[in-house]
Homo-oligomer: A and B are copies of this chain.
Amino acid sequence: MVTVDPKAGPKYIYRFTEGNAQMRELLGGKGANLAEMTNMGLRVPPGFTVTTEACMAYLASGRWPEGLEEEVEDHLRDLESDMGKRLGDPDDPLLVSVRSGAKFSMPGMMDTVLNLGLNDESVRGLARQSGDDMRFALDSYRRFVQMFSKIVMEVPSERFESKLDEYKKRMGEDAEDTDLDASDLDALLGDFRAIYREHVGEEFPQKPRDQLRLAIEAVFKSWNGKRARDYRRQNKISDDLGTAVNVVAMVFGNRGMDSGTGVAFTRDPATGERVPYGDYLPNAQGEDVVAGIRNTLRLHELENLDPKSYGELRKAMDTLERHYRDMCDIEFTIEKGKLWILQTRVGKRTAFAEWVMAYDMLEERLISEDEALLRVDANRLEQLFKPVIKADVKATARSIAKGLNASPGAAVGKVVFSADEAEEQGQRGEPVILVRRETTPDDYYGMIRSQGILTSAGGTNSHAAVVARGEGIPAVCGADGIKIDLTSRSFSANGTTVAGGEFVTIDGFDGAVYVGKLELEASKLERARRGDENARKEKIWKAFARFMGHADGARRLRVRANADTPEQAQNARERGAEGIGLCRTEHMFLGEERVAAVRQMIFASTREEEEEAYAQLLPLQRDDFVGIFRAMDGLPVTVRLLDPPLHEFLPDLTSLAVEVALAKERGENVADQERVLGKVRELHEVNPMLGLRGVRLGIVKSGLYAMQVRAILEAACLVQKEGCDARVEIMIPLVATREELRQMREELEPVAGEVLSREEVELSHLEWGTMIEVPRAAVTAREIAEVAEFFSFGTNDLTQMGFGFSRDDIGKFLSMYEQRRLLPANPFVTIDRPGVGRLMRMATEEGRAANKDLHLGICGEHGGDPASVAFCHEIGLDYVSCSPFRVETARLAAAQAALADATTGKRDV
C-alpha cells in the first residue's frame, strides 16, 4: 500500500490504476494513456508515473522535491509486490523501463531506458528465470548498459556501436547481433563498462535504486535540453508544462522467436485508408525497431507467425480506436506468445490522411461533423493544393538523397549554387533549384526567385526552411547525403555527381531528391478544385467539399480576399471569398502607358499640370476598377487609396546618382536626368515607412485621392448600369488622427456624390473607412470610430510600428531573435497577442463602443494564418481578408475557432 503523509505536500506519483486519459497535464500523454488502457482492461505491464509537477519542482529548485524520494520507494515496493519480484534480486529480479512523457508528444527529450535493474548480480537471476538463458540475460544487460550510458550519462553511443561492430565482424561479414553468444556478450560487457568508466569517471552503477534515481533525473533535465526547447518553440508549446516519468515493469520481446515487438496504426497514416498498418520485429526489443538494425516485417505478416497474438492485437486496435474515437498509434510487445500493450496515442498522419480519416470516421458515425472539422489542420490545408510528382513516375524513380520535408510541394529546376545565379536566371524565367549547404538572410533575394530549395545542412526550423514555408516554395533541407563542391560547381550524392545547370527534382512532401526532370502534376485536390471530374470522385475531394460546406455554416467570421486585379478577384471568389477586403491601388500607377502621367503628376509645378496628369490616369484606373467590380458583383470591395510614398515610382537614388555622375564625367548632356535626380533627392526619405505616404499623401497631394475616388465611382456606375451590383468601400490608409479621416471624407464624399448624381446611379453600398495600422489609431479608436463606417486592421504595419521592426530590415536579426526566443513567435506570421493583439482588441472594443454600426476586419497577411484567424474570431471582428490562395484556410480556421468556442476547445488526447 502506498502511504502518503498528508503533511508532505503534493502527491507526486500515480499508479496506472489511479490515472486516466484526461490527466495528460499531470501524467503526460504516455502516462495518461497507460492509465487509461490499464483501466480499459487491456494487458498493460504494471507501473507508475512521476508527475509533471515533480519535474517542474525539480527544475525550479535543482533538487528532488521533498517527499518524492519516499513516494518512489513506496511505489517501487508496491510494484515489487504486484510482480512478486524485487529490484536487483540476484534470483528473480524485477526490471523496469523508464520513459519520459510530456503532455504533448515531443521529440528531443530523453527517450527510453529499458532493462533498468540489471547489474552484475541480477543478470544471473534474469538468466535463471528465463530458463537459464544466459545469452538473453547478458544481451539484455549489455543493451541496458548501452542505453543508460548514452541516454542518462551522455556517453557517445558510437563508442558502444563500434565496439559491438568489432565483435560482430569477428563472427563474419554479415553477422547480426543475434550471432553473438553468451561468452561474446560477457566480454563485450566488460568493454562496455570500461567505456563507461572512461567517460563518466566512475564505475557503472550497480545499485538499481541509484540507476533509477539517475534515470528519473535525466528525464527531468531533458525537458530543458536544446532540442526539446527548440521543438517547443517551433510548435508553440509552453515551457511550463514539464514532463512526467513512467516507470514500467519490463516485458521482453527478445526472448526468442515466439517473442517480438512492433508498432501498429489503426489506419494508414499516409493515405488515411482504413487498413491496419505497422511493423513487427520478432525477437527484439523496442529500440531495435527504431534503430532499424534489422528489417522489420509488415504488421499483417504477424498473422502467419502468431495468429493468436495477431487476433488479440487487432481486437485491442479496434477497442482503442473506438475508445479514443480516432486513429491510434500503438506500441506492443509479445513475450513468449503473450501480447502486452506498451503505449498508445492518437497517431500522427499526413495532411492528406487527416482529411480522409476524418471523412471516413464521420461516415462511420464514429465522430460528429463538428468533430470531423476540428480534426483537420488548417495550417496544413495549403499543402494539399501543391504540385506533386506524378504518381507513376514517383513509384519508379530512384532518389539520390533524402532530406527533411521542410516545405511541401514538388519542384523541378536547374541546379544553381548562389543567390546571384538564382536571381539572374530566375528573372530570365529559368526554373532553378537553389542548392546550398545552408542559407542566410543575404540569400533571400535569390531564394524567392527559385522553384525550390535544397540544403545539405539545417533542420526544419533552419533559415531555408522558414523562408521557404513562408514564401510557399518547396524545400528539402538537411539532406546530408549531399556533398557540395563549389570549386567544381557540382554536388554529389550517393555516387552520383550533378553539375550546376543540370536538372533536379525535389519532393518537399517526403524530402526526396532526384536527378533530372520528373514529371509533376497538380495534386488531386487542386485538380478537383479546377473541376476535373475524375479527381472529384476521390475521397479527398468529397471530404474537402463536405467539410468546407460545413465550415461555412459553422463560422461567424466572414472571409474576404486581398486582390488587386480582376483575375485575382475571380480566383478569390472561386475559392469562396465573400468580398475583397483589400484592393491595393499601387499597381494602377505602374505600367508603361502610365509612367509618363505618373511622372507628370510628381513633377507638376502647377495645379494645371497636375490635373492634366490626373486626367490621363483617371480612365485607365477606372477600367481597372470596372473589371474588379464585375468580378465581385454583389460582394463588397474595399479599395485602399494610394498608400506608398511617391518616390517608389521614381528610380533608386543611389543608382541614379551614380549614373548621372558617370554621364557627367563623360561629358554627356544630363540636364533631364539631373532634373529627375533632383526630384528623387527631394522626395528621398530617411524612413519611408514613417514618411509622406497614405493619408498624408492624400492631404498634401490634393487631387490625387479625388481622382481615385472619381475613377472608383465612375467604374461602379458603369458596372451598375450593366446590371451588376457594385458594393464599394473606400479605405483611407495610415490614419493616425480623427481629423485626418474626417477632413478626407469631407473632401472626397462630395466627389463621389457628384459622380453618382451625374450618372444618376444609386449604389446599394458605399462606405468610408480607414485602416487601423498606426499604433495611435488603435489607441484613439474611440475618436476615429466617430467618423468611420469601418475599420480594417493593417496588421503588417501595425506590427512594424508596434514593435519598431522594419520588415525590409528585420532579416538582419530576426533569425537570431527566433533562435534566442526573444520573440514569442514571428509576429509577421502570427499576431502577437500581448502587444499588437492587445492594441487590436482595444481598438475593436472602443471603436464599437463609440459607433455601434462600425464593422471591422483585418487585411494584413495575418488574415490567412489560422492562429491569427482564431484571434480575430475571439476579439469579434466581422471578417478576415487574406491572399486568394489562403481563402479556404481562413474559412476553415474561422469555423474551427467558432466550434472551439462552442465545444470543449481543441482536441486534446
Interface residues of A (CB under 8 A from B): 442, 653-654, 657-658, 661-662, 665-666, 682, 685-692, 696, 699-700, 734, 736-737, 739-740, 743, 773-776, 779-780, 783, 797, 800-806, 808-810, 812-813, 816-817, 820-824, 832, 834-836, 838-839
Contact = CB atoms under 8 A, between A and B. Distances in A.
A733 to B, nearest CB: 11
5 contacts: A690-B804, A691-B806, A692-B809, A739-B820, A773-B804
A149 to B, nearest CB: 32
Given A776-B836, A801-B775, A835-B776, A689 B692 contact: no
A806 B654 CA distance: 21
Residue picked from A661, A700, A776, A832, most chain B C-beta under 10 Å: A776
Given A687-B808, A700-B816, 12 more contacts: A689-B806, A690-B806, A691-B809, A699-B816, A700-B812, A736-B805, A739-B820, A743-B822, A776-B803, A779-B834, A783-B834, A801-B801
Contact of A699 (B775, B797, B820): B820
Nearest to A814: B696
Contact of A700 (B688, B813, B821): B813
A800 B806 CA distance: 13
Given A743-B822, A816-B700, A838-B779, A686 B737 contact: no
B836 A686 contact: no
Listed residue (A662, A736, A816) with the most chain B CB atoms within 10 angstroms of its CB = A736
A687 B822 contact: no
Contacts of A812: 691-692, 700
Nearest to A655: B657
Nearest to A664: B662
Contacts of A686: 688-689, 806, 808-809
Q: How many copies does the complex hold?
A: 2
B835 A780 contact: yes
A743 B691 contact: no
Nearest to A805: B690
Contacts of A780: 834-835, 838
A779 B690 CA distance: 20
A642 to B, nearest CB: 15
A37 B608 CA distance: 59
A658 B812 CA distance: 26
Contacts of A809: 685-688, 690-692
A803 B743 CA distance: 18
A656 to B, nearest CB: 9
For A734, A775, A832, A839, which residue has the most chain B Cβ atoms within 10 angstroms?
A775
Contacts of A824: 737
A12 to B, nearest CB: 29
A888 B688 CA distance: 37
A387 to B, nearest CB: 34
A804 B734 contact: yes
Contacts of A804: 689-690, 734, 736, 773-776, 797, 801
Q: Which 9 residue pairs across A and B have the least CB separation, nearest first?
A: A690-B806, A687-B806, A776-B835, A691-B809, A686-B808, A775-B775, A774-B804, A685-B809, A687-B689
A504 B530 CA distance: 81
A802 B823 contact: no
Given A783-B834, A809-B691, A736 B803 contact: yes
A736 B817 CA distance: 12
Contacts of A691: 806, 809-810, 812
Nearest to A692: B812
A245 to B, nearest CB: 29
Contacts of A442: 682
A310 to B, nearest CB: 52
A800 B743 contact: no
A386 to B, nearest CB: 31
B822 A737 contact: yes
A822 B699 contact: yes
B823 A737 contact: yes
Nearest to A687: B806
A779 B802 contact: yes
Contacts of A653: 654
Max chain B CB contacts within 10 Å: which of A780, A809, A839? A809
Contacts of A740: 822
A816 B739 CA distance: 13
Contacts of A839: 775, 779
B654 A813 contact: no
Nearest to A734: B804
A294 to B, nearest CB: 46
A692 B832 contact: no
Given A657-B654, A691-B809, A739-B822, A803 B774 contact: yes
Contact of A692 (B743, B801, B813, B820): B813
A801 B778 CA distance: 12
A805 B691 CA distance: 6
A847 to B, nearest CB: 14
A160 to B, nearest CB: 35
A697 B867 CA distance: 30
A813 B696 CA distance: 7
Tell which of A682, A783, A835 has the most Cβ of chain B within 10 Å: A835
A835 B690 CA distance: 17
A430 to B, nearest CB: 26
A332 B688 CA distance: 59
